[in-house]
């Protein structure tokens, strides 16, 4: 059986207490509804035309069976529809064929509808077998009726013939329209759900990407991403050289802050220092947490004087930073400046050496070694 379990918009939900939830169930209800409509219409028409009871009885039985299955076999509606499909294919529609003028009447239209429904319900080997067997079966019936016309009951008059054919065309058209509409709506709904899933997946991937490149405590980039971006910029600057400046910052006496005020207080200091650095730099400058209480920044396209001025603004901004209505810490900064492409390790090593010098000189200062 085909996998038709798509969660579509359900126009038939009120037909069952539990509600239909798959395309396959919707198609089953449509099939039952069309079966009931055809059988009920045929029984009414035959009664009005005063046909014998034995001709009308199969229509009445099929209408009742379709109605009862739809109402009381809700949990097994697909299985019930398959049973009805096989019954209609091999018993009910052949009966209609022989009692409605054979190949001159409406039977051929119903044979076409049966093939259409078989193609929807069955799959793979079962579908191929049923299509071949049904076509063979109907071909035999048509040939038999052609060679033995005495077994075929003709229409009582041309008007009845036209009405019956029109009803058959209407039934086939309604069947095609209903199935096509429900299927299209189901696939569209499924497509929308897939698009929503793709959107959510892309959003989550973006969040994961941010988590993978960001220091979770301070919100600045982490060391690994800084190294990757630095190396990428060096590759770009090989074609269009620019000045490169690295600031390496270390919070003064941070261990003492943690020991005296606690690690939550220390975490807050780290966040505030990161905020001051980012507020001082340009949006495209790169800032990362390099170690426990160390931060590193990459500033490009500035001259030596500007580099020193920027680092001093960072230092004084942190020195004047208040937390709980008191100034809380200072930083020491080491600078590495170059107008030619140096390897990242060399620039970081030079900045670290200048940072060490700033620490030895009394902290809360910038050491740059720029001429």
pLDDT averages per 10-residue partition of the chain, 371 residues: 41 42 76 83 80 85 86 82 85 85 79 78 78 87 89 82 79 76 76 88 88 92 93 84 92 91 91 94 93 94 92 94 81 91 88 94 89 55
CA proximity to 266, closest of 278, 256, 279, 275: 256
* 3 state DSSP class of 57: helix
Residue with tokens 């800032």: 287
| Cβ atoms 277, 259 nearer than 8 A | no
What confidence score (pLDDT) does residue 211 get? 86
Q: Which of 278, 262, 299 is nearest to 218 (CA)?
A: 278
The pLDDT, as a whole number, for residue 21 is 60
Neighbours of 347 (CB within 10 A): 22
- The 10 Å Cβ neighbour count of residue 301 is 13
Give the H or E element holding residue 246: strand 244-251
pLDDT of residue 371: 55
**Apex CA 93: angle with CA 145 and CA 13, to 5°?**
165
Q: What is the DSSP string of 250-315?
A: EETTHHHHHHHH-HHHHHHHHHHHHHHHHHHS-TTSEEEE-SSSEEEEEEES--HHHHHHHHHHHH
Within 8 A by CB and 6+ apart from 261, the residues are none
User: CA-CA distances (angstroms) from residue 308 to 293, 319, 360?
Assistant: 21, 16, 19
What local confidence, expressed as pLDDT, does residue 294 receive?
A: 95
Pairing of strands 366-367, 331-338: parallel
CA distance 44 to 50: 10
Residue 227: exposed, middle, or buried by beta-carbon count in 10 A (0-12, 13-18, 19+)?
middle
If 0-12 CB within 10 Å is exposed, 13-18 middle and 19+ buried, where does residue 371 land? Answer: exposed
Q: What is the pLDDT of residue 49?
A: 74
């Amino acid at each position: 059986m085909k996998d038709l379990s798509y969660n579509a918009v359900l126009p038939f939900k009120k037909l069952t207490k539990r509600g239909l939830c798959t395309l396959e169930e919707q198609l089953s209800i449509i099939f039952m509804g069309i079966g009931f409509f055809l059988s009920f219409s045929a029984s009414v028409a035959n009664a009005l035309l005063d046909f014998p009871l034995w001709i009308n009885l199969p229509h009445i039985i099929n209408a009742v069976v379709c109605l009862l299955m739809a109402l009381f076999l809700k949990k097994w509606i697909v299985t019930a529809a398959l049973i009805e499909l096989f019954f209609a294919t091999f018993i009910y529609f052949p009966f209609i064929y022989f009692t409605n003028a054979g190949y001159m009447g409406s039977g051929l239209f119903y044979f076409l509808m049966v093939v259409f429904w078989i193609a929807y319900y069955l799959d793979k080997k079962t579908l191929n077998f049923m299509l071949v067997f049904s076509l063979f079966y109907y071909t035999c019936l048509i040939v038999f009726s052609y060679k033995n016309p005495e077994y075929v009951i003709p229409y009582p008059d041309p008007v009845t013939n036209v009405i019956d054919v029109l009803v058959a065309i209407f039934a086939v058209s309604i069947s095609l329209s209903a199935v096509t509409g429900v299927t299209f709506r189901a696939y569209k709904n499924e497509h929308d759900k897939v698009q929503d899933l793709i959107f959510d997946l892309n959003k989550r991937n973006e969040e994961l990407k941010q988590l993978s490149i960001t220091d979770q405590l301070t919100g600045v980039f982490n060391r690994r991403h800084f190294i990757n971006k630095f190396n990428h910029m060096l590759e770009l600057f090989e074609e269009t050289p620019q000045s490169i400046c690295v600031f390496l910052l270390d919070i003064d006496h941070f261990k003492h802050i943690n020991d005296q005020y606690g690690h939550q207080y220390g975490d807050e200091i780290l966040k505030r220092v990161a905020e001051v650095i980012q507020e001082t730099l340009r949006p495209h400058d790169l800032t990362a947490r390099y170690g426990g209480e160390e931060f590193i920044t990459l500033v490009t396209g500035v001259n030596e004087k500007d580099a020193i001025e920027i680092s001093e603004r960072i230092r004084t901004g942190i020195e004047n930073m208040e937390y709980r209505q008191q100034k809380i810490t200072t930083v020491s900064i080491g600078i590495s400046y170059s107008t030619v492409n140096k390897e990242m390790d060399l620039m970081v090593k030079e900045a670290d050496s200048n940072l060490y010098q700033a620490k030895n000189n009394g902290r809360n200062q910038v050491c740059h070694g720029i001429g």
